[in-house]
Amino acid sequence: MAKTTSIPVYQTPELYESALARHGQYVRWYSSLPCFCVDDVGRADPQCMVCYGKGSIYHPVVAKRTVEEGAGMKNKYIYPTGKIQSVNRVYKGDNTELSYSTYTPTYIELDVPLKSGSFYYVDYMEDLTENYTGVATYLGNGLIRVPIEMRSTIHGDFIGEIYSITYLRNVTQGNKEMQVVGHWEDLVLTLDAPDPGDVLEISCSSVYPIRMLVVGIQQKDRNENFGVIQDGDLSLTFPGYLPVGPGDLVTLLKAEQKSAVVSSYVDEQTEIEIPFFHVKEIIMIQDEIGEVTGASIIKNNKLLFGDRKPKGRFSISFTYNPTFIILDSLPSLRYGENKVFPKKVMLKRYDMFNRKEARPRSSLKYEGDVY
């Protein structure tokens, strides 16, 4: 028999957060809600231009509640790790409130200095967005790249994803407003064709990925109980205050995989959808004539061809980042208590591997999108 020990083991939110920091991976997380086209019996309008008949729409989460612990340094300033959007409260370990006079995105100024070594907690809304106003680069084929800030971590380099655009202008052509068709990652698609050397200026906001802990699980054989809904493919652990729920989508940013499909091109067709949510890069496109070059990935999972169009049916190989949907889960008292401890949900693959599921078209319909 194994020996037991009397050494106490303590579990704290900080220890869980530390585990997430060490072992978690960065993901794109899209919160879901039913589309307003859904009728009283749950049927979506197949002609809806917002959800494309899928019944759900998605949006990026731009802020999250964060609770951090710190120690006083004989001054009135507290510097949380995240960017402050608003402050809920600042308090001591005995729940005594600490009054503050002001705060900025980087610090909180208390009314009275904290004693050196005295512990405090700060409860605030963390802003996950960054604003950018400056020059953008035209890549051709209607694509524009925006040099939004990249965050370098031990897990890799991660860029934000544009979620809103205030304006896009061609400065060289008299600040002409350019028409935005769509945007994703750090790219923008426009209907305008700037001349070589034109200076383009953009003002936009982007949201950065969030770190979550994703681990594999052992699936049960469906033959064990034919009536049981399929178990999830993965288990996801996330900080306790994130409003993660059923139907949300999660894309793994460092889990790039390869796949290939066969499709067909019809004359005058502008976009062809690839049945994956987040396509990363084209490897090869081939039709009966030979290789098709000059194509681009737009809106996460669609093909936009250049001058060389495929002749009828064609094959394409590509890399993609797998996306998962969060499954329904049973109510939990731990969730209801709204504790800071991380919570766990189950994920199921959300792409062509689940042919019976309604696959997504895009993360959301952006303002200014044209279809």
CA–CA gap between residue 342 and residue 64 (Å, rounded): 14
Contact 13, 340 (CB under 8 A): yes
Residue 292's pLDDT is 93
Supply the range of the domain harboring residue 134: 129-207
Asked if residue 37 is part of any domain, the answer here is: no
Residues 121, 141, single domain; the answer is: no
Residue 205's pLDDT is 94
Q: Which helix (H) or strand (E) holds 14?
A: helix 13-23
Asked if residue 293 is part of any domain, the answer here is: yes
Asked if residue 165 is part of any domain, the answer here is: yes
Which residue, 97, 127, 157, sits at the end of a domain?
Answer: 127
Match 């067709």 to its residue by tokens.
Answer: 269
Residues 145, 120, single domain; the answer is: no
* Partners of 238 in beta bridges: 343
Residues 79, 108, single domain; the answer is: yes
| Type of residue numbered 339 | K
Q: What is the DSSP letter of 224?
A: G
Instruction: Walk along the chain (371 residues) and give the pLDDT tens digit of each residue.
Output: 455 555 555 555 556 666 666 667 889 999 998 899 998 888 888 888 888 788 888 888 999 898 888 888 888 999 998 999 999 999 998 889 999 999 999 999 999 998 888 889 999 999 999 999 999 999 988 899 999 988 777 777 888 899 999 999 999 999 999 999 889 999 999 989 899 899 999 999 999 888 888 876 544 444 444 434 456 777 888 876 888 888 899 999 988 899 999 999 887 777 788 888 899 999 999 999 999 998 999 888 889 898 889 988 999 999 999 999 988 765 455 555 556 666 778 888 887 655 444 444 444 443 433 32
Which residue, 207, 223, 248, sits at the end of a domain?
Answer: 207
* Backbone angles phi and psi of 335, in degrees to 5: -70, -45
Asked if residue 250 is part of any domain, the answer here is: no
DSSP, residue by residue, 150-209: EEEETTEEEE-EEEEEEEEEETTTTSEEPPEEEEETTEEEES--PPTT--EEEEEEEE--
Q: Which helix (H) or strand (E) holds 317?
A: strand 313-320
Residues 68, 119, single domain; the answer is: yes
Q: Which two tokens stand for residue 191?
A: 């209907």
* Partners of 162 in beta bridges: 206
Q: How many domains does the chain have?
A: 3
Residues 145, 201, single domain; the answer is: yes
Contact 120, 69 (CB under 8 A): yes
Residue 223's pLDDT is 45
Provide the 3-class DSSP secondary structure of residue 335: helix
CA angle at residue 302 from 299 to 303, to 5 degrees? 125
CA–CA gap between residue 278 and residue 363 (Å, rounded): 9
Asked if residue 178 is part of any domain, the answer here is: yes
Residue 370 CA from chain centroid, whole number: 22
Residue 28 CA from chain centroid, whole number: 2
Cβ atoms within 10 A of the Cβ of 115, count?
Answer: 11
- Of 212, 188, 210, which Cα lies nearest the Cα of 201? 188
Asked if residue 251 is part of any domain, the answer here is: no
Contact 106, 79 (CB under 8 A): yes
Residue 229's pLDDT is 46
> On the CB side of 300, how many CA atoms lie within 13 Å of its CA?
23
Residues 123, 190, single domain; the answer is: no
Asked if residue 48 is part of any domain, the answer here is: no
- Of 137, 159, 142, 136, which Cα lies nearest the Cα of 295? 142
| Type of residue numbered 71 | A
Residues 154, 87, single domain; the answer is: no
Asked if residue 8 is part of any domain, the answer here is: no
Q: What is the DSSP letter of 97?
A: B
Report the Cα–Cα distance between both ends of the chain, in Å, rounded: 68
CA angle at residue 57 from 306 to 66, to 5 degrees? 110
Residue 222's pLDDT is 45
Quick one: residue 14, left, alpha or beta (phi over 0 = left, psi -120 to 50 = alpha)?
alpha
